Chains A and B, each alone.
Chain A
Amino acid sequence: TSFAVERTNRQHTPQDSCNYSSSSKVVPLRRARLRKDVDTLRHILGIQKFDLGVICVDNQRIQQINSIYRKKNLPTDVLSFPFYEDLRPGKLPCPLHRDELNLGDIFLGVEFVMNQCREESLDLHGALTVVTAHGICHLLGYRHETEEEWTEMLQRESYILSEYNRLTGRHLEPLMKRCSQDR
Chain B
Amino acid sequence: MLKSVVRSVGAAVRLSSATTSTARALPLSCPMLRSLSPAVTRPFTRSLWMLNSNSSGYRPKLFSSKVLSPSVSCGCGGLHTEGDKAFGDFLSDEIKEEKKIQKSKTLPKMSGGWELEMNGTEAKLSRSVSGEKITVTFNINNSIPPNFEEEVEQGQQKPAEEESEIVSTPNFVVEVTKQAAKHSLVFDCHFPEDEMSHGEGEEESDIFAIREVSFQPEGDTEWKETCYTLNTDSLDWALYDHMMDFLADRGVDNTFADELMELSTAIEHQEYIKFLEDLQGFVKCN
Contacts and interface: CB of A to CB of B under 8 A. Distances in A.
A11 B237 contact: no
Interface string B238-251: 10011011001101
Interface string A16-51: 111110010010001111011000000000000000
Contacts of A55: 204
A38 to B, nearest CB: 11
A67 interface: no
A32 B242 contact: yes
A167 B119 CA distance: 53
Contacts of B195: 7
B61 interface: no
A11 B255 CA distance: 6
A15 interface: yes
A4 B111 contact: no
A158 B111 CA distance: 41
Given A10-B258, A30-B245, A31-B245, A3 B237 contact: yes
B109 interface: yes
Contacts of B258: 7, 10-11
Given A5-B254, A26-B255, A11 B238 contact: no
Given A4-B205, A13-B111, A35 B255 contact: no
A120 B204 CA distance: 29
Contacts of B253: 20, 26
A17 B108 CA distance: 12
Contacts of A4: 204-206
Given A7-B195, A7-B203, A7-B206, A35 B111 contact: no
B95 interface: no
Given A15-B108, A15-B109, A20-B251, A7 B241 contact: no
Contacts of A35: 237-238, 241
Contacts of A13: 111
Nearest to A18: B111
Interface in B248-284: 248-249, 251, 253-256, 258
Contacts of A32: 238, 241-242, 244-245
A7 B108 contact: no
A5 B112 contact: no
A104 B25 CA distance: 74
B112 A6 contact: no
A18 to B, nearest CB: 8
B249 to A, nearest CB: 8
A10 B258 CA distance: 8
B203 A8 contact: yes
A106 to B, nearest CB: 12
Contacts of A66: none
Contacts of A18: 111
Given A32-B238, A32-B241, A7 B111 contact: no
Contacts of B242: 32
A9 B111 contact: no
Nearest to B112: A20
Nearest to A26: B255
A9 to B, nearest CB: 6
A8 B254 CA distance: 8
A1 B241 CA distance: 12
Given A17-B111, A19-B111, A35-B237, A6 B255 contact: no
Contacts of A1: 237
A31 B109 CA distance: 27
> Residue among B109, B112, B195, B256 with the most chain A CB within 10 A?
B112
Contacts of A9: 254-255
Interface string A158-183: 00000000000000000000000000
Interface of A: 1, 3-11, 13, 15-20, 23, 26, 30-33, 35-36, 55, 57
14 contacts: A3-B241, A4-B206, A7-B195, A7-B206, A7-B254, A9-B255, A10-B255, A19-B113, A26-B253, A30-B248, A30-B249, A32-B241, A32-B242, A57-B204
Given A6-B203, A7-B258, A23-B111, 17 more contacts: A3-B241, A4-B204, A7-B204, A7-B206, A7-B207, A11-B255, A15-B108, A18-B111, A19-B111, A19-B113, A20-B111, A20-B251, A20-B253, A26-B253, A30-B245, A31-B244, A35-B237
